[in-house]
Amino acid sequence: MRYLEEAQALKEQMVQWRRHIHRQPEVGLDTKETAAYVSDQLKAMGYNPKPCGKNGVTASLGQGNKTLLLRADMDALEQTEESGLPFASEKPGVSHGCGHDLHTTMLLGAAQLLKAHEKDLRQKIVFMFQPAEEIFAGAQSMIDDGILADNQVDYAFAVHNMPTLPVGTVALTEGPFMPSVDGFTITIQGQGCHGASAQEGVDPINIGAHLHLALQTLIAREINYQTEALLTIGTFNAGTTGNIIPDQASLTGTLRAMDPDVRAFLKDRLEAVSRLTAESFRGTAQVTWDYSVPANVTAPDRVRQLKGALQAINSAEEAAGSAHRLSLEEGGLLNASEDFALVAAQVPAAFLRIGSRSANSQDCNILHNPKVVLNEDALPIGAAVFTAVAIEA
């Protein structure tokens, strides 16, 4: 099978899918319209899609002794698009600035290709269209609803577009390559009073300021400087007016680490430092862990599997005399986190990055930037890779 050639033949259709999804972005777990659209396309291909989790979609085909799960995320960002594209988001404050519309389209393209080549499958394929990757809730929602257990999934595969890479380049890293992420809220309890009589109260803003500084020393002084870890405070909320010391303040943030032991140590120390800092100023602090996602890990066997699939793609092109090839490179570590890691924690998995750099050098190539422009030439490549993994693995 010439994976790239057949995927290229679907490009016009995939562009239509992608632009529809791009115009109508949805965030978090509220991907009802996107899920309905994906289901309609799958039904038109002959699938029997089913809801899974909170506004997720799943479908399957093929049979065999092994089951491979292919995953794409569907959710967008709470960000107003400024790309200037003619098919830009029609919803103010919401846009596909991370390119999940590309991922969904790539997997839809693979679903159509695989339906046409079902006879070539030697294993069962499960499609996972998930919501809420950006808030680390969608994968867990579908896992809780049985997508892994009910299908007895043996291994899994996902992709992410990467505008730092040119189209035709794919990147892969073996082992841990995306950090764990633990989101937290620290609620500081003080005692409110008149701003002119501060001695009568307990100032939670003062506690929060000291705590922010103290927490930074966890990274700077309590772990090996060669260890990959990061603590970020993203919000600090307190008070309503300038002459009142409030009762409460809150800090929210994220803690990221590659090593699970370092992660556990930092979580314990964050709780202890929060409690003790607050107590030193006569207040209290309570840490709530809002979400927890492990490091994303690519299993060694899956690396070999992916390399075999990519070789099959290139061999088919070479045999046909085509100049088209995919180039594979070592992807290194990424700073961002991914809730596909929740899948990878339960079954051996791989996560491939696919180049999506715009052909126009003046375009923005930064994910999560309101002006980002992603290259639709990446769509057939993603579909071809998904398809090759399903057939060749």
What is the predicted pLDDT for the residue at 121? 97
Query: Is pLDDT at 42 greater than 80 in this prediction?
Result: yes
Domain 3-178+295-392: state its class: alpha beta
The average confidence (pLDDT) of the chain is 97
**pLDDT grade for 323, boundaries at 50, 70 and 90:** confident
Plot region of 62 (φ>0 → left; ψ -120 to 50 → alpha; else → beta)? left
pLDDT at 287 > cutoff 90: yes
Residue 292 sits at φ, ψ, to 5 deg, of: -145, 120
Rg from Cα positions in the chain: 23
Average pLDDT over residues 268-294: 98
Determine the Cα–Cα distance for residues 173 and 350; give it in Å rounded to an integer. Answer: 9
Q: Which helix H or strand E contains 217, and what residues bound it?
A: helix 204-221
The pLDDT of 251-255, averaged and rounded, is 98
**How long is the chain?**
393
- Asked whether 311 and 388 are in contact (CB, 8 A), the reply is no
Q: How far is CA 79 from the centre of its chain?
A: 16
* Mean pLDDT along residues 377-389: 98
**Cβ within 8 Å of residue 258, ≥6 positions away:** 176, 179, 180, 227, 228, 229, 295, 333
pLDDT at 393: 74
φ, ψ of residue 389 to 5 degrees: the values are -60, -40
Residues near 255 by Cβ (< 8 Å), separated by ≥ 6? 181, 182, 184, 229, 230, 231, 232, 263, 266, 267, 270
Residue 118 pLDDT greater than 80, yes or no: yes
Closest CA to 137 of 84, 69, 183, 198: 183
What 8-state DSSP symbol labels residue 259? S
Neighbours of 189 (CB within 10 A): 15
Q: Which residue type is seen at 305?
A: Q
Q: Indicate the pTM of the whole model.
A: 0.95
Using a pLDDT cut of 90, give the percent of the chain over it: 99
Domain ranges of the chain: 3-178+295-392, 180-293
A 10 A CB-CB count for 89 gives: 24
CA distance 299 to 67: 16
Q: What is the mean pLDDT of residues 211-239?
A: 96
Give the model confidence (pLDDT) of 48-96 as tens digits: 999 999 999 999 999 999 999 999 999 999 999 999 999 999 999 999 9
Q: Count CB-CB contacts under 10 A for residue 339.
A: 25
Residue 138 is predicted with a pLDDT of: 98
Q: What are phi and psi of 158, to 5 degrees?
A: -145, 165
Over residues 193-209, mean pLDDT: 98
Domain covering 180-293 assigned CATH 3.30.70.360 in the classification: yes
Q: What beta strand segments (E) does the chain contain?
A: 50-52, 56-61, 67-73, 124-130, 155-162, 169-172, 175-178, 180-189, 193-194, 229-238, 244-245, 248-257, 284-293, 296-298, 327-330, 349-355
Cα dist from 146 to 64, 143, 151, 237, whole Å: 20, 5, 8, 38
